């Protein structure tokens, strides 16, 4: 019976659950956060069993331009020089690379993408292009070739202008001075705006951008963004002004509504945002300054303190932000206190963040540990992703008895790292100033590898003990809550 029980656990982890569109994004301006650092963040959700790897791509120089072709048939000639960049990419790449998120050597960060669906009228007027730019290739053909966030938006815009877009997408790009939010609506229509300094946004798989002032220097938009819907009869307004999302997006459904409502309710409770709000505002002011920990908890959020609590039996169909279908979750802090080429810190949790742990990685690291580079499609004990995935699977079987102390332990681990981060930032900056860029990169890489190795070893111990505990308590409520040995005081 115990063997069969463990087999079922393994099967659940490997098969997973799949949703077509499933990511949740988040952005915040510098005046909206407690430490003054801008944030771009996202949960990458698709399937609970979809191995992700974390790599560093070296800079490359070619004597002639390189022709890039992806699995969808998208082709583009790339520049001769590519910059070093970090990326969290798919292990299995038959359907695309999906580099997803990372920093390049110029300190530019990119998170791509939150998928979204254009409305029927918009797609008929400007159809998506089957071999156009898609999420599978976007980071790969953009991040290694830009030196600023604006350049990134302009590069995407020029690619969509020339080749078209294969999908509706939402993405975030940031550098040492500004963050940009971009929505790609249809085959050739898009709009990008600077993230307001004092606002945040929770972004489910839904276009949300409202009024777009195409004459503003803080806006980059397709030339027919407003003219096309006027000519084709699907132009829409809100409060007497053009509204991009109402014009180009599909109608808001519960799958997206609950995440939008849940996130805004959590961060802006005084606004008393109604669940049935007809037109949600993309930008919101938080009731208090947003901390890094707030965003970590948002990415784990299952509306536990509301009537939509996704842990209750009657709410099994509610789409939580913290979902088992997360392959990885990341939070990027853009730190203007660090050297420009470092950019900031990416806090990354492999698999679902609910029972995983966020680890910090500087933008200038040179490599990652081997556990982040295992490309197996099926479970292997050597993989960081698969280990965290399995811990999440077992913990979620009984959150109170199995998962509670694991979540508590990882939270205390995160708090220790957050407390130490300011001193590490200072040391990295000192090395950069006194000994140069290479010395700072070696220090950043060493920190990232030591932290990753420590967590990987602790997670292996937690998983072994957790599976044994679950097997011993099959079919009954345990008499005590699972407590991993790493929690016990020496």
Whole-Å CA distances, 353 to 1, 24, 40: 30, 13, 16
| CA distance readout (Å), 79 to 112, 146, 270, 364 | 21, 11, 50, 22
Which strand (E) or helix (H) includes residue 260? helix 254-267
User: Tokens 């939010």 label which residue?
Assistant: 181
Region for residue 235 given its phi and psi (left: phi exceeds 0; alpha: psi -120 to 50; beta: otherwise): beta
- Helix, strand, coil shares of the chain, percent, nearest 5, are 40, 20, 40
- Say if CB 260 and CB 305 are below 8 A apart: no
Q: How far apart are CA 86 and CA 363, in angstroms?
A: 7
Q: Which of 372, 347, 351 is nearest to 360 (CA)?
A: 347
- Specify whether the CB–CB gap between 184 and 169 falls below 8 A: yes
Interhelix angle 135-142/149-163, rounded to 10 degrees, is 130
Q: Is 23 a catalytic residue?
A: yes
Strands 344-350 and 326-334, by their bridges, are: antiparallel
Q: What φ, ψ does residue 459 adopt, rounded to 5°? A: -65, -35
- Angle between helix 2-15 and 384-397 (nearest 10): 120
Q: Which of 23, 133, 193, 391 is catalytic?
A: 23
Kindly tell me the number of DSSP H helices and DSSP E strands found in the chain: 11, 20
Which phi and psi (to 5°) does residue 50 adopt? -150, 95
Q: Which residues are catalytic?
A: 23
């Amino acid at each position: 019976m115990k063997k069969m029980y463990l087999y079922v656990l393994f099967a659940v982890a490997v098969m997973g659950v799949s949703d077509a569109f499933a990511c949740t994004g988040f952005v915040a301006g510098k005046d909206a956060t407690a430490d003054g650092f801008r944030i771009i963040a996202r949960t990458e959700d698709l399937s609970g069993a979809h191995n992700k790897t974390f790599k560093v791509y070296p800079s490359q120089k070619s004597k002639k331009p390189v022709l890039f072709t992806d699995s969808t048939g998208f082709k583009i000639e790339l520049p001769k020089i590519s910059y070093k960049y970090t990326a969290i990419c798919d292990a299995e790449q038959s359907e695309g690379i999906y580099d997803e998120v990372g920093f390049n050597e110029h300190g530019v960060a990119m998170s791509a993408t939150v998928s979204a669906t254009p409305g029927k009228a918009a797609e008929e007027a400007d159809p998506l292009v089957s071999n156009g730019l898609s999420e599978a290739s976007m980071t790969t053909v953009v991040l290694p070739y830009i030196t600023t966030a604006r350049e990134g938006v302009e590069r995407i815009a020029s690619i969509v202008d020339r080749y078209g877009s294969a999908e509706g997408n939402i993405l975030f790009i940031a550098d040492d001075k500004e963050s940009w939010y971009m929505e790609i609506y249809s085959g050739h229509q898009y709009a990008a705006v600077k993230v307001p300094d004092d606002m945040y946004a929770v972004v489910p798989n839904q276009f949300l951008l409202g009024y777009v002032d195409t004459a503003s220097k803080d806006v980059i938009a397709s030339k027919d963004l407003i003219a096309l819907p006027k000519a084709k009869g699907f132009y829409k307004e809100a409060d007497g002004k053009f509204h991009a999302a109402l014009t180009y997006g599909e109608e808001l459904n519960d799958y997206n509504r609950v995440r939008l409502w849940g996130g805004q309710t959590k961060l802006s409770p005084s606004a008393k945002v109604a669940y049935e709000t007809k037109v949600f505002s993309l930008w919101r002011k938080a009731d208090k300054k947003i901390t890094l920990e707030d965003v970590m908890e948002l990415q784990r959020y299952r509306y536990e303190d509301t009537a939509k609590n996704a842990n209750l039996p009657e709410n099994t169909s509610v789409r939580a932000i913290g979902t088992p279908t997360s392959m990885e979750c990341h939070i990027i802090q853009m730190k203007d206190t660090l050297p420009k080429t470092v950019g900031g810190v990416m806090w990354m949790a492999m698999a679902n963040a609910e029972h995983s742990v966020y680890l910090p990685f500087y933008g200038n690291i040179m490599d990652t540990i081997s556990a982040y580079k295992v490309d197996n499609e099926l479970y292997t004990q050597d993989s960081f992703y698969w280990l965290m995935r399995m811990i999440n699977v077992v913990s979620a079987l009984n959150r109170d008895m199995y998962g509670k102390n694991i979540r508590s332990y990882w939270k205390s681990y995160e708090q220790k790292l957050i407390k130490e981060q300011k001193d590490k930032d200072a040391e990295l900056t000192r090395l950069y100033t006194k000994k140069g860029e290479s010395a700072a990169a070696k220090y950043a890489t060493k920190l990232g590898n030591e932290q990753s190795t420590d967590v990987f070893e602790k997670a292996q111990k937690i998983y072994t003990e957790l599976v044994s505990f679950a097997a011993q308590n099959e079919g009954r409520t345990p008499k005590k809550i699972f407590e991993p040995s790493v929690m016990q005081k020496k």
